[in-house]
Amino acid sequence: MATVLFYILGFTMLAATLLCITRRNPVHAVIYLVAGLFALALMFYLLGAPLVAAWQVIVYAGAIMVLFLFIIMMLGLAPQDVPEGPSWQRWGPLALLSSSIMICTLLLIFKDPMAGQQIDDFYLAPQVLGEALFSRYALAVEIVSFQLLFATIGAYMLGRPLPKGEDQ
């Protein structure tokens, strides 16, 4: 049951992502991406990561995608300012390149001797994850928190008013 669900979710995710990257309107693209992220969160859950799944929904689909939508709507991009969509002259070589990369990736994965290995049933309780995060990986947590601080300062610096004459 879980296996069938995993493959259904995987193909849902790929379909939503494919629809997302072919949209011209960024609002539609973000909505499709949110659908794909929900499917990915359920895949995380099936792989025994309930906490990561929950945070995927809260942080990714919730916060980050809403931030994207907020910026799109604040700048008033949709839909009149959307540049004309990618033409077939741009599509052709790219589709060739991407499909060749994808085929090579899949061949490498399936020719690997480990390819047939099954993932055993696994469930990681959030408590165990939290203990590992704040004991063995405490230094990494500190570094990431510093990075979030730097990102805040960087966003503030970029958001300051432009000097006179540079604003068009």
Residues 18-57 that bind other proteins (CB under 8 A): 18, 20-21, 26, 29-30, 33, 36-37, 40, 43-44, 46-49, 51-52, 55-56
Residues 6+ apart with CB under 8 A from 133: 141
Question: CB of residue 46 vs other proteins: minimum separation in angstroms?
Answer: 7
Judged by CB under 8 A, the residue of 14, 73, 79, 142 near other proteins is 14
Residue 157 structure tokens: 């610096």
Judged by CB under 8 A, the residue of 1, 2, 163, 164 near other proteins is 2
82 is a site residue for other proteins (CB under 8 A)? yes
Residue 147 structure tokens: 């990075």
Interface positions, 131-150, toward other proteins (CB under 8 A): 132-133, 137, 140-141, 144, 147-148, 150
Question: CB of residue 111 vs other proteins: minimum separation in angstroms?
Answer: 10
Interface positions, 83-122, toward other proteins (CB under 8 A): 83, 86, 90-91, 94-95, 97-98, 101-102, 105-106, 109-110, 112, 114-120, 122
Residue 83 structure tokens: 């540049």
Please name the residue that has the structure tokens 């995380």: 44
Q: What is each CA distance from 104 to 20, 89, 101, 125, in whole angstroms?
A: 23, 24, 5, 36
Question: CB of residue 164 vs other proteins: minimum separation in angstroms?
Answer: 13
The conformation of residue 85, written as its DSSP 8-state character, comes to P
The burial of 80, by beta-carbon neighbours within 10 Å (0-12 exposed, 13-18 middle, 19 or more buried), is given as exposed
Question: CB of residue 53 vs other proteins: minimum separation in angstroms?
Answer: 9
Question: CB of residue 34 vs other proteins: minimum separation in angstroms?
Answer: 11
- Total binding residues toward other proteins, as defined by CB under 8 A: 87
Give, for 18, the enclosing helix (H) or strand (E): helix 2-22
Residue 104 structure tokens: 């090579």
CA 64/CA 57 separation, integer angstroms: 10
